[in-house]
Structures are given as C-alpha cells and as structure tokens.
Chains A and B, each alone.
Chain A
C-alpha cells in the first residue's frame, strides 16, 4: 500500500504484552519478517503480579504502513494493547544516554561546560576522561553527542525511547 509519494512519518508505539518467553522475538520477528523499521526499542516488565511488560517501539513508514504495523502487532496473541502515542497526542518521550569522552586540558573544560548547559551529570571521572549521563528527548541527546564529537567522544550507550501519554488516562 505504500507509494513513493507518501511522506514517511515517525511514530512511537507503546504495547502492553504478556511477559512470557519469546514475546520480544515475536515482535522483533514481525518487524524484520515484514520489512518494517525499528528506530528504537525499549522493553521492561511493568507489573510483576500480572506479568505484563511494556514495549515501546519507534518506527518510521508511510501512513498505511504504520497502520499495518499496528494491526499486525495487535493480532499477536500475547499483545494486550497497542497505542500509537504519536496519534494520541504529544506524548512525553525520554531517553537516557551514557557518553564517554576522553581528553586533557582545555578540551576537558569545554566538555564540562557543554555538559552543564545540557544538564548532564558527570557519573565517572578520571584524569583523562568523563562519563556523562543525560536524559531527554532523542533529538536533545543527538545534539549533545554531536557537540561532544570533536572533544574526544569515545562511545555512546543509549537506552532507546521510553514514552507515556499526557493527562490522567492510562493506556
């Protein structure tokens, strides 16, 4: 159903699923088997008593493909609910990243200044390196990482997006 003319959209989908073996493989397999994109994926148990996990997927595609992805996910037996947070309204989206930079002298100062202006925390320090922790929207983290790039960026570890709808209602 996709045609080249249709715009590619970015959608954040949130799912409640049974926390059973293979459920993640089922969802990831659906994306790879049908040729859909995964830009970001987070998974964690959210209710131990009812054995529920919440999976948040950021995906891209033309609008009919996004609809198809949701229907395909929704018909998986262990999937309880699928909510398109992008359609529901401006959801809160946050990601955490740990970023290591290496350098000496002025470069260290510069890195600390940038970290400060992004409200990143310094969680590890040596005489020639820092590890920063930053939380925020993905594009804020992108920007932070790109500023650190010339200052001795060593590696980045990102959690992927966690998201939740605004207002009093749950999913």
Chain B
C-alpha cells in the first residue's frame, strides 16, 4: 500500500499494519500530532499510564504474556528519560518492545530546546537498536524495521525518535510488505554438524541435565512443547532459570525446580555434578553460575542460543549451537530419532537415585508458625487457591520474588513475568496491567513487597480507569527484605535504611484509588481473605502482613560454588558464609 499522509498518520497506519491492538503511553507537546492521529481511528487502543516507566513495563507484561510486540508512545525529554528504566529492563530480559518517542522539531535539535534531550544518545546502550527519523521519507520504513528488529533474533527494545516537524510533514507511506531488512538476518537453524555432535554427546551421557531459560519462552510455545518431548524421550532431568519458569511443567517428575542463587538443592547439585549439560536459551548469568571457576567442573557443555555473544561469555562451552531454540530442538529430536539413540538406562536410573536423595533434603522447607504468616506459606496458599484458574503472575523484585519463584508452580510458558536481569523494583504492577490488557478475562496477580509496590503504585489509577481487575498481593514485612537479608549476611545486621518507615495504610490507599483493600495477618484467616480477593472483579490491594525476619533459603552465598548451599535446616551457616572476595559481588 502506498498513500500520501502525514508522519503522525504514518505512525498510526504502521501500528495498524503491524497488527498492534494496544499501546501504552502518555501524551506531551512533542507527540501531540500522533495523539491527534490516534483520535481519528479506533483500531489501536491506547492505555493511558501515570508514568512512562509504567508504560514500558506494561508493554513488557503485554509482550511476555501474549508473544506479541509491546508498543509504547511517550513524549520528548522527561517522557523519554522516564522510559529508560523500562527499556533497560526489556533489553536485559530480551523482551520485544517498540517505543516511539516524540522529539523537538529538527531545526531545534541541539539548541537545548524545552523538553529536549538526546534520546537516541541516552537510549543507545539500553536498546537493541534505535533511530532518529529526520526525513519523512524514511519514517514508514523505519517503523516497520523497528518491529522487525524488536522481534527477530534475540528480542529487545527498539526506540524510534520522531521530531515534531516530521510528524506534521507529508510523505508517501509504504506498508510492511515492501520492507526487507538489508543486513539483520539472524540465524535460526543450528549448524547440523554441531547438532549431531550434541545429540551424540547427550545420548551417551550418564549424568545429564537440561538447563533451560527465557530463550525457550521467547522462541514460542512450540519450543516448550519440543523441550517436553525431548525430556520425555530421554528421561533426563530439567531445571530452569528464573526467566524460563513455565517452559517445563512444575508438576512433572523430571522437574528439579529453579536453579541458581535461590534455586533448589537438587537443581544446583545436578548442575554441579552432571557430566553433560544442555543449556537451552539461557546465558550463564552470575545468579546461575555462582563461583565461575568452580561451576560444574566435570561436565561437557552444550549451549543453544540465538545470540552468538552469549556463547563463551561467562563459561567455556564445548558445543555451541547458534540458532533459535525451536529450530534447534526440532533438529536435535529428529537426529535423536534417526540415530535411534538409547540413553544408558542404568546410569540414568542411578543418576535419578542421586537426585532423589538431594530432593529428600527438601531445600524449600520452612518452619510454619501458628501466629505469624510465613511468606512462603502465603505464596503456597495463594497457589492452592488459584492453581486451577487461568492465571498470570508478575512480581516486583526482592524476597517476595524469590518466594514466588520457589513456591508458585507453573505448568505453561508465558504465565510468569518477573524482572530477571535488571531486577527492577516497580516492575510487577505495570507488568500485571499489561498482561491483563492482553488477557482481559484471565486472573492476573502481582506478587509484591511493600517496598517495591510503592515504586510504581500510581499505575493503580490506570488499572481503575481501564477496568483492569489486577490483584496485588503484597507480602508486607516492613523491610526491604532482600536488602535486610544481605545486611544480615555482610554487614553485621546493621539495617541501614532498609526498614520501610511511615508505611501507608494500604487498605485505605487502595480505597482512595477506587479499588478494594484487604488486610490479613493471621494464618487462619488467610484462605478466606484470598478467596475474598478472588471474588472481587476490581483491582485489589491485598496487604498480607508476614513474618518480618524470614530469610530466603536455600542460598548459594556469593562467591561460592553450587555444592556449597546454605540450607534451611542450617540457617546459622549464613553468618560467616561469605568470603572477603564474595563481599565484592552483588
């Protein structure tokens, strides 16, 4: 399609042609022409946020729960700088987002004009790619390219900065069908030689483990299906990073639970003692590896990743396979069947015997209390109440996030959204709103802490305005709990500024916004209160008062290898667990 129109109209037309149904934004001087063009159409629905950071997190929640690209529209200057945290979050977690920013007119660029900032300069290191469009004749192509770049290869955020005069200028619009990217053509299929070598190695393994991550989710539901098929066919154990939860069903016997700093004992011990590790769409992040030079010392490592820069970045890989998880798993399965691969049943059975002994340590156990709600108990009860429902979970960042990852169990991909890489407090509520926009009839719960929730709480107003009945389940321990836990670990229990002073009355606060507030502090009342929350078809802020001093366990102290975990039955080991060198790490 080729048609003359204004730049602002091109933006809306490009969004429509890209199949965008929802966008998240906030108007301002430098994007008014686009808002005016929006006014003249009704195909793309705009969700008005209360802060631009919220807009990007909503787009992330929308993208992660639906598999589509999340779209953001913000103004120049502070609109763009407020979006930076969200963009960085999307970059680190590989979430496809297109963020359109207004800019001062081209003749004012560089003059320190009102609400001017160097948006492409500021966002260059926190986006996958960005564009400043100075010429109306480039605009349509750049917009379509932005969608292509955001979702192909390793997904990520893309910024398109559009000066106001370009929004008013008239030009010829071209549709997405006429655009082909010149150079950016990520490789999807793995090298057949490498695939073959990997399958041969795997088939002979005696102590194998699948170490899976967010790449399985990003590759689409088919990738999760293939992972399950491969696990079933081989009988090998599966663990996952925080980002990958849900790709493999938590109810399955071959599921070891999450790995890493607060992962299960069995998952971490299997990683440490395995002889063949298959990393599927994960990146050997420091939360996963612990001490790098003692990481899984006796294993051969296979790494499937669409991004070549992930290979050998932190850990030396024996068989790297560059490609998309879905394509590579498909080829590996075909190869496995063609080779009539037969795992060493005796070795695998004895490997499972070992894993079962680790599992018997019950690393996620905790001491229940008749008077205090233990945070783990709160998550367990929440899970029991909603597990049969069509539910999406988001979190903020901190202790509650780890307890949610440990005690809420996921059966399907795209159901769990958390800020993994950047660790952004304030992510959960806007992400929940984004997920609710994508799934209006589903139950969406933000598992939060009382500190994190206050970072983007203003978005409760957005939820009310657009009738998005998200549930905010706050584990309120009156501390920035993870900070407090690390102050216990490293700083002699001196709780420097980690106590949440002057907390608001969350129930009244919810009511002030027009939502519903519920408070619960007795274990015996918890089930009833959760039910009450679920019965409300409006946004609810649930203030769950929990044990203030609980720590997240088990834990690999920083600077330690996987086989030196602190277990909940010996929490006193935390006291001197971290070496001088480990203290430097975060």
Chain A residues in the interface with B (C-beta under 8 A): 1, 3, 18, 21-22, 25-26, 29-30, 33, 64, 67-68, 71-72, 74-80
With beta carbons under 8 angstroms apart, the residue of A18, A68, A77, A80 that contacts B309 is: A68
Contact status A77-B184, CB under 8 Å: yes
**Contacts A22-B120, A25-B121; A77 near B312 (Cβ below 8 A):** no
Bound: A75/B149 CA distance, A: 11
Contact residues in B for A21 (Cβ distance below 8 Å):
132
Confirm or deny: B183 has a beta carbon within 8 angstroms of a beta carbon on chain A: yes
Contact residues in A for B132 (Cβ distance below 8 Å):
21-22
List residues 288-345 of chain B with CB under 8 A from any CB of chain A.
293, 307-309, 311-316
Confirm or deny: B128 has a beta carbon within 8 angstroms of a beta carbon on chain A: yes
Nearest CB in chain B to that of A30: its residue: B125
Tell me how many residue pairs across A and B have CB atoms closer than 8 Å. Answer: 49
Contact status B125-A67, CB under 8 Å: no
Bound: A26/B132 CA distance, A: 13
Contact status B128-A29, CB under 8 Å: no
Chain B 115-138, CB-CB to A under 8 Å as 1, else 0, gives: 000001100110011101000000
Contact status B121-A77, CB under 8 Å: no
Bound: A79/B182 CA distance, A: 11
Q: State which size class the interface on B falls in.
A: 20 to 34
With beta carbons under 8 angstroms apart, the residue of A33, A68, A71, A74 that contacts B125 is: A33
Bound: A64/B309 CA distance, A: 11
Bound: A123/B408 CA distance, A: 76
Chain B residues in the interface with A (C-beta under 8 A): 120-121, 124-125, 128-130, 132, 149, 153-154, 182-184, 293, 307-309, 311-316
Contact residues in A for B316 (Cβ distance below 8 Å):
1, 64
Q: Besides A1-B314, A77-B129, A77-B183, 18 other CB < 8 A contacts?
A: A1-B313, A1-B316, A18-B182, A18-B183, A21-B132, A22-B121, A25-B121, A25-B124, A64-B316, A67-B312, A68-B309, A71-B307, A71-B308, A71-B309, A74-B308, A75-B154, A79-B183, A80-B183
19 A–B contact pairs at CB < 8 A? A1-B314, A22-B120, A22-B124, A25-B121, A25-B124, A29-B124, A29-B125, A30-B125, A64-B316, A67-B312, A68-B313, A75-B307, A75-B309, A76-B129, A77-B129, A78-B129, A78-B183, A79-B183, A80-B183
The 8 closest A-B pairs by CB, nearest first: A71-B309, A77-B129, A71-B308, A80-B183, A72-B309, A77-B184, A33-B125, A75-B309
Contact residues in B for A75 (Cβ distance below 8 Å):
153-154, 307-309
Contact residues in A for B312 (Cβ distance below 8 Å):
1, 64, 67-68
Nearest CB in chain B to that of A32: its residue: B125
A155 to chain B, nearest CB (A): 31
Contact residues in B for A26 (Cβ distance below 8 Å):
124
Contact residues in A for B154 (Cβ distance below 8 Å):
75
A50 to chain B, nearest CB (A): 9
Contact residues in B for A78 (Cβ distance below 8 Å):
129, 183
B159 to chain A, nearest CB (A): 12
Bound: A72/B314 CA distance, A: 14
B90 to chain A, nearest CB (A): 16
Bound: A78/B183 CA distance, A: 7
Bound: A68/B285 CA distance, A: 15
Nearest CB in chain B to that of A72: its residue: B309
B80 to chain A, nearest CB (A): 15
With beta carbons under 8 angstroms apart, the residue of A22, A67, A77, A80 that contacts B128 is: A77
Nearest CB in chain B to that of A68: its residue: B313
Contact residues in B for A25 (Cβ distance below 8 Å):
121, 124
Contact residues in B for A3 (Cβ distance below 8 Å):
293
Nearest CB in chain A to that of B121: its residue: A25
A17 to chain B, nearest CB (A): 9
A141 to chain B, nearest CB (A): 33
Which of A74, A76, A77 has the largest number of chain B CB atoms within 10 A?
A77
Bound: A77/B184 CA distance, A: 6
B83 to chain A, nearest CB (A): 18
Which of B130, B149, B293, B309 has the largest number of chain A CB atoms within 10 A?
B309
Contact status B149-A77, CB under 8 Å: yes
A84 to chain B, nearest CB (A): 14
Bound: A79/B129 CA distance, A: 11
Bound: A3/B316 CA distance, A: 12
Nearest CB in chain A to that of B129: its residue: A77
Contact residues in A for B309 (Cβ distance below 8 Å):
68, 71-72, 74-75
Nearest CB in chain A to that of B130: its residue: A22
Bound: A72/B130 CA distance, A: 16
Bound: A72/B149 CA distance, A: 16
Which of A21, A74, A75, A80 has the largest number of chain B CB atoms within 10 A?
A75
Contact residues in A for B124 (Cβ distance below 8 Å):
22, 25-26, 29
Contact residues in A for B311 (Cβ distance below 8 Å):
71
Contact residues in A for B128 (Cβ distance below 8 Å):
77
B306 to chain A, nearest CB (A): 10
Bound: A64/B184 CA distance, A: 24
Bound: A33/B125 CA distance, A: 8
Contact residues in B for A1 (Cβ distance below 8 Å):
312-316
Nearest CB in chain B to that of A69: its residue: B309
Nearest CB in chain A to that of B284: its residue: A1
Contact residues in A for B293 (Cβ distance below 8 Å):
3
Contact residues in B for A74 (Cβ distance below 8 Å):
308-309
Bound: A72/B154 CA distance, A: 13
Bound: A18/B183 CA distance, A: 9
Bound: A77/B156 CA distance, A: 12
B244 to chain A, nearest CB (A): 21
Contact residues in B for A76 (Cβ distance below 8 Å):
129
A66 to chain B, nearest CB (A): 11
Bound: A22/B130 CA distance, A: 9
Bound: A15/B315 CA distance, A: 27
Contact residues in B for A18 (Cβ distance below 8 Å):
182-183
